[in-house]
Amino acid sequence: MNLSFALHLAYRDARRGAGALLVMASAIVIGVAALVSVSSFKENLLEAVEMQTREVLGADLVVRSRRKATKEVSAFLESIPGEKARGISLASMAYFPKSRNSRLVQVKAVSDGYPFFGQLVTEPPQAEKNFRTRASALVDKSIMLQFGLREGEQVRIGKKLFTIEGTLLSVPGGFDMRSAVAPQIFIPLEELESTGLVALGSLLRYRYYVKLPPEINRVELADTLRPEVRELGLRLVSVESRRERLGEIITNVYQFLDLIGFIAILLGGIGVGSAASIYARKKKTFVATIRCLGASRQEALVFFSIQVLVCGFLCVLLGAFLGVLLQMQLPALLGDFIPVQVAVSTNWMSVLTSMTLGVVLLFSFALVPLWRIQRFPPLLTLRSEMEPESSISRSDIILYGAALLLLVAVCVIHVGNLKVASAYLAGFSVVLLLLWLLSVGLRRLLRLMKGEALPFSLRQGAANLFRPFNQTLTIMLCTGTAACVVCVVLFIEKAILARADASMSIERPNMILFDVQSDQEAELRSFFEDYKMPLLSSVPIVTMRLESVKGRPVAELRKKDKEIPRWTLTREYRSTYRRTLSSTEEIVAGTFVSEVSAGSTRIPISLEERIAGNLKVALGDELVFNVQGIALTTYVSSIRKVDWERVSPNFFVVFPAGVIDDAPQNLVFVTRFATPEDGAKFQRAAVERFPNVSIVDLSLILTTLDTVVSKISRVIELFTSFSVVTALIVLAGAVWGTRTQRAEESVLLKTLGASRRVVLVTLATEYLILGVCAALSGCILAVAANILLSIYAFKIDFTLAFGPASVVFLGVVVATLTVGVIGSGGTYNRSVLDTLREIEE
Amino acid sequence: MDDAVIVSLAGVGKTFKSAGRQLSAVKDVDIEIHQSSTCALVGPSGSGKTTLLGLCAGLDRPTSGTIRVGGKSLEDLDEDQLARHRGQQIGFVFQSFRLLPTLTAIENIMVPAELLGLEDARSRALELLERVGLSERLDHYPAQLSGGEKQRVALARAFIHKPRLLIADEPTGNLDAETSAVIQDLLFALNRESGTTLIIATHDPELAERCQRVFKLHAGNVTEAPQVSQ
């Protein structure tokens, strides 16, 4: 084989034909950009986590507990070497006297020393030190902005008034999702007691921060401490475990975004395959001529392969460049969800890997059309009308198989998980298969429908969809898939918000008051009456811990039974007692016992089905609970299914009335306000009068959720848009690739007397039908996907989101029509002679 | 004329399947063509001229019979060996020129020589461009050349690797009478200079008359017309 000839010829040909070649490979650009940006950014994130985990954690080790330290725990904590700091966090209401506003916050009471690593960033900067010495508070910037607060104003937490020392700009580990619903307020630890919030039943989270001496090996110490930590019912978070967890989260987010981006590259691949087919067909006589002049099949193949690979590489390079630019924008988009400070830098290894993936994908999609090139016989030079053989040989089958295997291998290697990659490819293939079937059906239907009564241009436009060398299938596949992806994303977005919205429906509660003490019950009830607020329910909560399950002590189970999740054994159960089931529950086994006499030795209880499964207990099994020092022997009399999605106080364990009614307890009050103004007025007054009571305004949560979902959506939509842009490029490529054929048709029609308008309407009809069919197919597939997601993933009733579907439908139709008509290069508008000359060239 | 036989066809037939029927494009042809001779294939459209030309060039395979070109039996060669054989032995001139549109005139001419790996491809091409009177247009693309110029480039390309056999399919079919005459003169002049054997399929009686032998084709049957004086 004369490689030098093939190289020379490839270069010479590309000088004049570079446009067509670049159009062919350009479909891959966006997909590569998506992969480069997200994979390089992932490496940035992982590097940042590697460097900053101590700053995220604020310490070398953190020991967590939901209980106040017992003597054993204190002794254990004392035994850990190094400097220590403490923190207690709880949810409470913050009341701002000046503006008389209030809102649910996370109070974080921290001792001196915290954080050992990283810092509380405040405005003014010295506020970070001063709030500790002046017994004042640092308030999250979102609250400062929301209520227009200024430094020096006051905030009341529980019973105590704090001066606002400054604005909290950032904390070690960043602000999490919880902070979106309940922003943080920092106070000194020693001031927490005076707020009066450390009452019985309050949900407190204790944290012990440790800064180890440099000579101590952190990993070894953490390993040594773990058994005792488990024994004491605590949790230990080390820099390493946090790093691992953050790494997992980052990888999960990366995989999700990468998979969305991957659709773009696969669509691009289809576009490349289609464009390569058009390109190869255009080069039919070229190949025949060089073969006639003595070039072998291999030389012809190498000649084209070089062109495709070089142009593909250039497009991949462009994609990588765009990806690097896009990567710079990602921190702004993802900033709210990143726990570390990310210095964006290009990770060349990621760029290189993504580029290789792009080139290999491009080649695997272009392989089949390239292979066909060698089938163009040299006899075409004498008989240009003859068509190459269309039969499929054994080598063709081997090649098709190889291309498919290459594609699957690339996908598996890229995703890094055979199961995920298989599911992904299977899903993608199903979508493509369905679109292919729809495309075939459409062409058959159009062929059958003669439409003799229709004007010529409409008939001709429809006929173009099944003419030889039509691009109907490619456009349907790419545009339809893009429409489907966008539609599914919009549907999911709607579904999440609709589900949250459903909880706010007219008959459901929208405000919950918790941490109500027993002695406040009567006063609060009359307070409700004063404000004409309906008290929908008042639910008592008694805290308790599990002592034994089926006669085996919890301590033993924790050591020996690895199948029972630890949290089910060590958690503080916040249980209730009542005579009836609530509207969110239904009995799935046994009988719900409403009341027992106070002297009963074995108490029938109702367990939630999942906790029963976790504890491996069935009807009749015995559980012993420790209710503030008193052991209560119970047995499972019923198992309940609970709709946790409904906003209502739901419980794992429900006791019958008559047993724990007199145990120390607090209450949850559930109500519903009619208007936001009524809600705000009631909340303000309640916080003023009952400072220890926390109030959750569900409408605020909905608004927050809306904001969070919007932020996430923005990121997902960006990655989804890659598929859309790719589909448009493929569409433009298909239009551009067949424009000579269109020009010839246009010339012929004009020569025969068709006006410009007729040619234009013919063209528009073709793309209108194509756009409508692609959009409709994509939307139908999206609806099907959404029905499946509603049933199996979200477990909600399916509702068709007409809004997003209509937007996607119209968008796709308009885009297809516009790109189609504009991309045809105004063939309808040009003179016959000009077009003829162009065709000649 | 050299007495050595360069092309020999013995019992050559070619049938095609069309609409489920076998059609004979060429029937039982026996021809021997000598080195450096000039032959014309004439006949009405569909008579089998192009089929016979394609068979001689090794672009197509006969259904029956054997074809030998330059001493080699074409049926023994596979696709790529045939391509190499064409590259070494045969030059082509087509009615529709078949210049590669993305290559300049000189690059088009160089293609056969480059395929053979000849190092002096460029100097040969320049020489031939000069010879066909296009030395000023070496960097022009086919689209920038007139029909006559294109065919002159095609002629230069056909002779660059000094083929033993030149196959021309209606070389003047797309040209006006004046240009056609120029091309014919060039074709025969180059043929004389290089000692190439020439087989031309043509409708043009004038062109056919300039050949030493004329084969008439009718419905796939070949008969040799009486020898004309040169």
Three-state SS string over A99-160 comes to CCEEEEEEEEEECCCCCCCCCCEEECCCHHHHHHHCCCEEEEHHHHHHHCCCCCCEEEECCE
Which pLDDT does position B17 carry in this prediction?
Answer: 77
Nearest to A13 among B80, B98, B103 (CB): B103
Q: Spell out the residues 6+ positions from residue B209 whose beta carbon is closer than 8 angstroms to its own.
A: B228
**One-letter amino acid for residue A398 of the chain:** I
Q: What is the mean pLDDT of residues A433-448?
A: 84
Q: What is the pLDDT of residues A308-345, one digit of tens each?
A: 888 888 999 999 999 999 988 888 877 766 767 777 88
Strand pairing of A154-157 and B38-42? unpaired
Residue A650's nearest CA partner among A610, A700, A702, A591 is A610
Cα-Cα end-to-end distance for chain A: 31
Nearest to A290 among B57, B59, B111 (CB): B111
Whether residue A294 and residue B86 make contact (CB cut-off 8 A), yes or no, is yes
Chain B residues touching A6 at Cβ < 8 A: none
- What is d(CA A158, CA A757) in angstroms, rounded to the nearest whole number? 77
Instruction: Give the DSSP letter of residue A347.
Output: -
Which pLDDT does position A250 carry in this prediction?
Answer: 79
Give the DSSP H or E segment for A741.
helix A739-751
Q: CA-nearest residue of chain B to A841?
A: B143
Q: How much of chain A exceeds pLDDT 70, in percent? A: 92
Which pLDDT does position B230 carry in this prediction?
Answer: 46
Helix ranges (DSSP H) in A690-801: 698-737, 739-751, 756-788
Chain A residues touching B60 at Cβ < 8 A: 379
- What is d(CA A825, CA A401) in angstroms, rounded to the nearest whole number? 38
CA distance B181 to chain A (A): 22
**One-letter amino acid for residue A57 of the chain:** L
- What is d(CA A470, CA A448) in angstroms, rounded to the nearest whole number? 17
Whether residue B115 and residue A5 make contact (CB cut-off 8 A), yes or no, is yes
CA distance A721 to chain B (A): 36
Whether residue B96 and residue A384 make contact (CB cut-off 8 A), yes or no, is yes
Q: CA-nearest residue of chain A to B49?
A: A382
CA distance B175 to chain A (A): 16
User: Would you call B57 an interface residue with chain A, using a CB distance cutoff of 8 Å?
Assistant: yes
Which pLDDT does position B6 carry in this prediction?
Answer: 92
Q: CA-nearest residue of chain A to B112?
A: A293
Q: How much of chain B exceeds pLDDT 90, in percent? A: 46
Chain B residues touching A383 at Cβ < 8 A: 50, 54
Whether residue B117 and residue A293 make contact (CB cut-off 8 A), yes or no, is no
Q: What is the pLDDT of residues B30-69, one digit of tens each?
A: 999 999 999 999 998 888 898 999 999 988 899 999 999 9
pLDDT of residue A656 exceeding 90: yes
pLDDT of residue A138 exceeding 90: yes
User: Would you call B182 an interface residue with chain A, using a CB distance cutoff of 8 Å?
Assistant: no
Cα-Cα end-to-end distance for chain B: 12
Q: What is the mean pLDDT of residues A725-744?
A: 80
Q: How much of chain B exceeds pLDDT 70, in percent? A: 96
Chain A residues touching B114 at Cβ < 8 A: 2, 4-5, 8-9
Instruction: For an interface test with B, give the residue of A382, A393, A395, A839 to mutate (most B CBs within 10 A).
Output: A382
Q: What is the mean pLDDT of residues A261-278?
A: 84
pLDDT of residue A840 exceeding 60: no
Which pLDDT does position A199 carry in this prediction?
Answer: 67
Nearest to B59 among A286, A382, A384 (CB): A382
Burial of A237 (0-12, 13-18, 19+ CB in 10 A): middle
Chain A residues touching B57 at Cβ < 8 A: 292
Which pLDDT does position A505 carry in this prediction?
Answer: 55
Q: What is the pLDDT of residues A148-172, one digit of tens each?
A: 899 999 999 988 999 999 999 888 8
Whether residue B86 and residue A285 make contact (CB cut-off 8 A), yes or no, is no
Nearest to A382 among B88, B141, B169 (CB): B169
Phi, psi torsion values for A798, nearest 5 degrees: -75, 130
Confidence of residue A480 (pLDDT cuts 50, 70, 90): confident
Confidence of residue B3 (pLDDT cuts 50, 70, 90): low
Instruction: Give the DSSP letter of residue A79.
Output: H
- Per DSSP, what are the bridge partners of residue A668? A539
Residue B32's nearest CA partner among B60, B85, B90, B71 is B71
Whether residue A296 and residue B80 make contact (CB cut-off 8 A), yes or no, is yes
pLDDT of residue B2 exceeding 60: no
Confidence of residue A831 (pLDDT cuts 50, 70, 90): low
Which pLDDT does position A759 carry in this prediction?
Answer: 82
Confidence of residue A633 (pLDDT cuts 50, 70, 90): very high
Strand pairing of A603-608 and A630-642? parallel
Q: CA-nearest residue of chain A to B57?
A: A292
Whether residue A289 and residue B98 make contact (CB cut-off 8 A), yes or no, is yes
Confidence of residue A503 (pLDDT cuts 50, 70, 90): low
Which pLDDT does position A673 carry in this prediction?
Answer: 85
Would you call B230 helix, strand, or coil by DSSP?
coil
Q: What is the pLDDT of residues A404-413, one digit of tens each?
A: 888 888 888 8
Confidence of residue A265 (pLDDT cuts 50, 70, 90): confident
Instruction: For an interface test with B, give the residue of A3, A13, A293 to mutate (most B CBs within 10 A).
Output: A293
- What is d(CA A461, CA A742) in angstroms, rounded to the nearest whole number? 11
Confidence of residue A16 (pLDDT cuts 50, 70, 90): confident
Chain B residues touching A8 at Cβ < 8 A: 114
Q: What is the ipTM of this complex?
A: 0.84
Q: What is the mean pLDDT of residues B149-173?
A: 92
User: Would you call B112 an interface residue with chain A, using a CB distance cutoff of 8 Å?
Assistant: yes
Which pLDDT does position A620 carry in this prediction?
Answer: 93
pLDDT of residue B1 exceeding 60: no
Q: What is the pLDDT of residues B110-142, one digit of tens each?
A: 988 988 888 899 999 999 999 999 989 888 989
Q: How many CB atoms lie within 10 A of CB A594?
A: 14
Q: How many CB atoms lie within 10 A of CB A709?
A: 17
Q: Spell out the residues 6+ positions from residue A800 whose beta carbon is closer than 8 angstroms to its own.
A: A783
Whether residue B98 and residue A840 make contact (CB cut-off 8 A), yes or no, is no
Judged by average pLDDT, the poorest of A254-263, A499-508, B77-86 is A499-508
Nearest to A296 among B83, B96, B112 (CB): B83
CB-based contact A109:A188 (threshold 8 Å) = yes
pLDDT of residue A646 exceeding 80: no
Chain B residues touching A291 at Cβ < 8 A: 83
- What is d(CA B49, CA A18) in angstroms, rounded to the nearest whole number? 38
Which pLDDT does position A163 carry in this prediction?
Answer: 94
The mean pLDDT of chain A is 83
* Chain A / chain B CB contacts < 8 angstroms: 91
Q: What is the mean pLDDT of residues A381-392?
A: 70
CB-based contact B69:B109 (threshold 8 Å) = no
Whether residue A294 and residue B50 make contact (CB cut-off 8 A), yes or no, is no
Residues of A with CB under 8 A from a CB of B: 2, 4-5, 8-9, 12-17, 285-286, 289-299, 377-379, 381-384, 840-841
Q: What is the mean pLDDT of residues A365-393?
A: 78
Q: How much of chain A exceeds pLDDT 90, in percent? A: 18
Chain A residues touching B83 at Cβ < 8 A: 291, 294-297, 378
